[in-house]
Every structure is written in C-alpha cells, then in structure tokens.
C-alpha cells in the first residue's frame, strides 16, 4: 500500500482550480517538447545511417527505366547475412533503418498527442533550428534538447558531443545515450547535478507565459512522457480535470502508418496511432497512454505504461510489446519487392529490416550496431574515400545494363560527373545546402499537414532527402553540413527549377540553391519544381492546393473522355504542384500518363507566370520515357515565344555535372 501511495501522488488529485491555465501551459509545453525531441533524432540518425557505404538499384513502380543501373547509397537488404558485398554493412544498415522509420512513427504519435492536447505542432522550434533552417542543435554541442547536457555527466560520458558524423563507435555512444532508460541515465549523471533532472509535477517556478524553452531538463525521453502523463492526470477540487480542460475533441490528426486503403494496409494494426478520434475522455486518454507506451517501448525498451497504470491504481499489467511491432504481412503489401520486370514474391528490404528488428528496442538495436562496429568491418563513405577510391562506370552497372534502351546518360558520364564534383571543393557547400533544403522542404510542409486536411504528406520528399544525404557522402566522403541551413530567397523573385531555364536571364546556370528541394509537395512557390511525379492540376481555378496523386504515385487515367491536365515541370503555378526535385536529375524519366495504355500521351498546361495571376498559354504533351528536363525545356520555350523573345535560346547539349550526379526520384 505504501508503494501505491507513492505512485498515486494525492497532490495531483486535489489541486486548486485557479492553476488550470498554469498547468495547461506546462502540459502543452511538454507536448511541443516531445515533438522537438522526436524530430531531433530524425536528421541526426539519417546522416549517420546514410554514411554506411553501399549501392542500390532504383525501381519505379514496375517499369524498367533503370534496368542495370546502380546508384550511390545503401538501402535495406532483404537478406543481409548473405549480402554479396558486405554483410556487416547490410546488417548495420537494416538495424539502423528500422530505428529511423520508428522515429518517424514517433513524430507522428507525438504530433497527434499534441493536437489532442490543444497544441498546433511546430517543426521549426528554436530548440532545434535557426531562422534559415540550420540545425544548430547538431553544431558540436553537448545538449540533447530538453533531455540532458553531457557536461553534467560523469567521466566516460561527459565528452560525448551532439554532432553530425559517420557511423562510428564514438557516434554510436551518442545514439545509445539518447535511447537510455531512467535507471541507466541516473547512473551516468554527476550526483551533484542530478537535481537538475527528473523534475516533479507540477513544475516549480512555472508561469502561464512559459513555453518549451522554459521547461526543466527531463533526463530521459521516458521521464518526459511520464511528466506529460502526470499533468494529464491532474484533477481539481471542483471535480474537473486538466485533460478535460485542454482536450481538443475531433481535432485534425494524421496517420501515415495505419492508413487503410486499396494500396496500404495498417502497419501497426494492434496499436492506436491517433487519440482524439475518440471524443470520450477515458477512451482518448487510453489511446494516448498506448501511444506513449509505443514510443518508449520501442525506444528505451521499458514502456512507461506499467508505471502509469500503477500510478492510476491499476496494479495488474501485462507487457504488450508485441502490439508495438509492425505487421510483416502489412509491410509485404505496403512495400513490395519491385524489380525491373514487376513485383517479386520475396520480401523487400524494407520489410525484412523492420520486421526482423521489431522485437528489439532502439537501445538494443544500437547495441547490435555497436557489436558490428567493433568487428572493424563496417565501411563508411569517408573510409571508402580515404582508401583512394574513385568512381568508375562499372561501379554503376549491374545485370541488364546493356539491355536498357531508355534515354539515360551513360554510366561513364555519371561516374565522370561524380569525380568532377568532388574535385571542386566549392561543390561541398552546394551539396550541404541541397540536403538542408531537402529537409527544410519537409519541415515546412509538416506544419500545414497537421493544420489542413487538403495538405498531403510529402512522402517522396522524405525518401528524396535520404538520396540527397547519400549523394553528399558518396561524392565527398563527408556528411552534408545541415547546421548552416539554406540561403534566403529574395521576395518577389521568380526562381527557376533547373539548368538554363531562367526566364529573366537565359544562360546555362542551374537553379539557385535557395530553392533546392528533394521531391513532390515540398516546394513552396511557383516555378520551383519539376520531375517525374506528375501533378494533376484539374480545373485551373483550383491551382494553389496540395492535391497530389496517390494511387501508386502515378497519374490517374482520363475518365470517359474527360481530359486530365497535369502540371508542367518548372512551370508549376504555385506551391506543391512542382512534381519534385530541384535540380532535375538527368536520369529522370516520365512514367506512363495512363498505366493501362503506356502509349497514350499526357497533357500538361503551360503558363506564363506573370504576377499577380498566371496566364495560360496552352498545352503540351509528354509520353512514357520522356526526359523530364526535355519537357521542362519545351514549356520554357513556349513561355519565351509568348513573350516574343527572339532569337530563342538553344537547348543545352550537355547535362550539367550536378544533374548527372543526382539520382532520379522514384
């Protein structure tokens, strides 16, 4: 009974009602801090994940555009132990990849919890980034945002730095510390500093105007969620509760992982991923409890639900770790094993990496990675370059290369471009901004994603950001320095998407780095996008939304003779309609406009993007296998003709090294 009283904390059940606004401010600050913490892990983990040396073959919805082609960057392996090149790399990548995907799930869960608690999530908090989207939280600091300052730890830990780096034993120490549970964290904090951590609820010296910047340090991610829950449990002497006071019934929550459709099965069918779909307070609280437990169970391996249920007087509790593991059958359906000739029955690398690691918490997965690193057999891109390697055409070829008849640049040209890009030191800064811009494109969209039902999650952008990080490692043997952010845009400037497409100053220049981004849905202004994800425009009066095509990421076929109009590359009329990827990869080809009849042509609208209203000039067509850059050039010439430009510029005869180096988005 004495232990029960310790958990029950009567002072949280008989609180004065005048503290409601004070307590609401603290609860909502923790909710935003949880978003910050989950978001913090994603670029950090991504940079080290893609430092693992490897190649991958791009497949694209069953077409054979990239038959026989390999691209720089590792990917999940369907059979890591028998990988023909480096089984140790394959195993390390699979372990790490599964953690990376879990962290995106955790960000979704934290965001939905925040929405249920009346918080509009922010993904550009000062705790992580500066105003130029520079991730200052990784700038060789000692602080895990909201959690721990390594300067307050004992010898053996007080030299850990929060920084971007390759996957090394040193960097893995940081990852293990991030995923520590309460017991382990308390053992490494300097006893004289322990009072700065593991705060009690309600917080001392808290004010109603305080934000997440004023929160105490929690010591562990698990303790942060314990504090969140304790605030949710507060009951006042007027018989009301804090949760009822802040609960945002029916608010917009988003679900990427458990969405159900003809092309996606719920990946975690045994666990809730949203809270406020239940308008009844007890049901919503139970959902949030399970979501918190999923985050902490997957992360540090000791979900806080047992502690919470004891606090609530529910002493009977059975571990439910299995419900937080992804369904292998759903993963096989959602992420099929694409090949050049179709879909194979064998599981994909995505499925194997996540299903085989689902029973391990993140801390244990990083311990497994640690053991692999200790063998000395994990090879990272910086080591690959330090060994004197240079790119050759054969590195970019695999079975079927000579059978590929699509209009792609040769492997020789791509290899030469990769080597030339490395030779110019100025290119490293460009590629760092490419990666920073890619990630910024995602975080900008996320805020709208949780605010508006018409905003779609930029899934291709998330995958494309990995390509941008990988290619920087592969070319330079260095991580992309995303701590410096991106270059500011000049207000009122009409930017362009790629090589020689500048309306105002025709020359051979590429797009300015201020508008670099990775993929569909993440460009934030007109004329800033273009590649193979064709955007359905529909009626021209509905131009400025975030509508995207869903079914297999392909255009839908025309319905009963009704002409479907698509957005031309580099000529999109506003945010989100640009397709993807600036600059446009020289290898980017269009899929069939009508998957049921690949020989059909697709129709694109062309505009002169003059302020304040774009002027429609007409239509152009594209077909399966057309180069995206060629179609962008055709749209560009139509605009110049409408402006009576004479003489018209000549199309570049050589793809820029930058465009050759970038892999296509698929």
Report whether pLDDT(122) > 90. yes
- Rounded Cα–Cα distance for residues 448 and 124 (Å): 12
Number of Cβ atoms within 10 Å of the Cβ of 87: 16
Regarding predicted confidence, which is higher, 508 or 564?
Answer: 564
Q: What is the pLDDT of residue 452?
A: 83
SS3 60: strand
Q: Give Cα separations from 592 to 458, 532, 550, 600, 625 (angstroms).
A: 21, 10, 15, 8, 7
Mean pLDDT is lowest, of 145-159, 476-490, 546-560, 641-655, for 546-560
Neighbouring-strand partners of residue 139? 163
pLDDT of residue 596: 67
What whole-number distance in Å separates Cα of residue 607 and Cα of residue 567? 10
**DSSP tally for the chain: helices H, then strands E:** 18, 11
Domains and CATH numbers, the chain: 2-203+212-246+269-374 (1.20.1260.10), 401-661 (no CATH)
- Mean pLDDT, residues 302-329 taken together: 66
Predicted confidence band at 367 (pLDDT cuts at 50, 70, 90)?
very high
C-alpha span between 224 and 300 (Å, rounded)? 13
Cα–Cα dist 21/246, whole Å: 9
pLDDT digits (tens, 9 = 90+) for 370-397: 999 999 999 999 999 999 999 999 999 9
- Measured on CA atoms in the order 454, 460, 462, 464, is the torsion positive or negative? negative
pLDDT tens-digit map of 249-286: 888 899 989 988 888 899 999 889 998 765 678 889 98
Q: What is the DSSP letter of 66?
A: T
> Do residues 265 and 334 make contact, with C-beta atoms less than 8 angstroms apart?
yes
């Amino acid at each position: 009974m004495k232990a029960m009283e310790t958990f029950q904390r009567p002072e949280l059940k008989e609180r004065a009602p005048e503290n409601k606004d004070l307590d609401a401010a603290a609860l909502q600050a923790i909710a935003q801090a949880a978003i910050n913490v989950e978001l913090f892990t994603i670029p950090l983990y991504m940079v080290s994940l893609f430092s693992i040396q490897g190649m991958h073959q791009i497949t694209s919805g069953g077409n054979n555009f990239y038959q026989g082609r390999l691209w720089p960057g590792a990917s999940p392996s369907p059979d890591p132990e028998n990988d023909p090149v480096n089984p140790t790399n394959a195993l390390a990548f699979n372990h790490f990849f599964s953690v990376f995907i879990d962290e995106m799930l955790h960000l979704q869960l934290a965001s939905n919890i925040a929405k249920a608690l009346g918080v509009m999530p922010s993904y550009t908090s000062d705790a992580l980034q500066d105003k130029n989207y520079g991730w200052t939280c990784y700038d060789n600091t000692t602080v895990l945002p909201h959690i721990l300052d390594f300067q307050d730890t004992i010898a053996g830990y007080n030299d850990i730095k929060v920084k971007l780096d390759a996957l090394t034993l040193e960097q893995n120490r940081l990852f293990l510390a991030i995923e520590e549970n309460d017991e382990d964290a308390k053992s490494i904090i300097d006893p004289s500093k322990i009072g700065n951590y593991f705060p009690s609820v309600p917080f001392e010296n808290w004010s109603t105007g305080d934000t997440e910047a004023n929160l105490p340090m929690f010591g562990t991610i698990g303790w942060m969620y314990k504090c969140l829950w304790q605030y949710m449990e507060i009951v006042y002497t007027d018989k009301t509760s804090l949760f009822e006071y802040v609960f945002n019934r029916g608010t917009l929550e988003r679900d990427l992982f458990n969405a159900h459709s003809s092309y996606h099965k719920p990946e975690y069918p045994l666990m809730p991923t949203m809270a406020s779909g239940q308008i009844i307070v007890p049901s919503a609280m139970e959902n949030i409890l399970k979501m918190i437990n999923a985050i902490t169970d997957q992360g540090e391996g000791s979900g806080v639900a047992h502690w919470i249920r004891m606090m609530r007087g529910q002493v009977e509790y059975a571990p439910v770790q299995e419900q937080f593991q992804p369904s292998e059958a759903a993963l096989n359906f959602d992420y099929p094993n694409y090949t050049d000739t179709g879909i194979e029955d064998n599981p994909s690398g995505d499925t194997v990496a996540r299903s085989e690691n689902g029973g391990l918490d993140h801390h244990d997965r990083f311990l497994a990675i640690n053991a692999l690193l200790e063998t000395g057999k994990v090879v990272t891109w910086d080591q690959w370059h330090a060994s004197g390697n240079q790119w050759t055409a054969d590195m970019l070829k695999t079975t079927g290369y000579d059978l590929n008849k699509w209009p792609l640049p040769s492997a020789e040209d791509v290899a030469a471009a990769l080597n030339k890009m490395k030779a110019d030191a100025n290119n490293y800064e460009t590629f760092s901004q490419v990666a920073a811009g890619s990630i910024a494109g995602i975080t900008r969209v996320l805020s709208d994603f949780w605010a508006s039902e018409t905003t779609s999650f930029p899934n291709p952008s998330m995958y494309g950001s990995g390509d941008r990080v990988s290619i920087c490692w592969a070319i330079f043997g260095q991580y992309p320095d995303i701590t410096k952010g991106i270059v500011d845009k000049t207000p009122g400037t009409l930017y362009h998407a790629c090589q020689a497409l500048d309306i105002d100053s025709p020359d051979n220049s590429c797009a300015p780095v201020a508008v670099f981004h990775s993929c569909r849905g993440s460009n934030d202004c007109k004329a800033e996008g273009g590649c193979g994800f064709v955007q359905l425009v529909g009626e021209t009066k509905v131009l400025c939304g975030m509508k995207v095509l869903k079914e297999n990421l392909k255009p839908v076929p025309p319905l009963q003779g009704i002409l479907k109009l698509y957005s031309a590359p580099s000529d999109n009329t506003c945010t989100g309609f640009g397709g993807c990827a600036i600059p446009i990869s020289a290898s980017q080809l269009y899929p069939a406009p009508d998957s049921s009849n690949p020989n059909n042509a697709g129709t694109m609208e062309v505009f002169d993007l003059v302020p304040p209203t774009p002027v429609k000039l007409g239509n152009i067509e594209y077909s399966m296998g057309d180069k995206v850059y060629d179609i962008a050039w055709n749209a560009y010439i139509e605009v110049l003709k409408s402006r009576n430009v004479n003489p018209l510029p000549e199309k570049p005869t050589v793809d820029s090294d930058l465009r050759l180096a970038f892999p296509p988005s698929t």
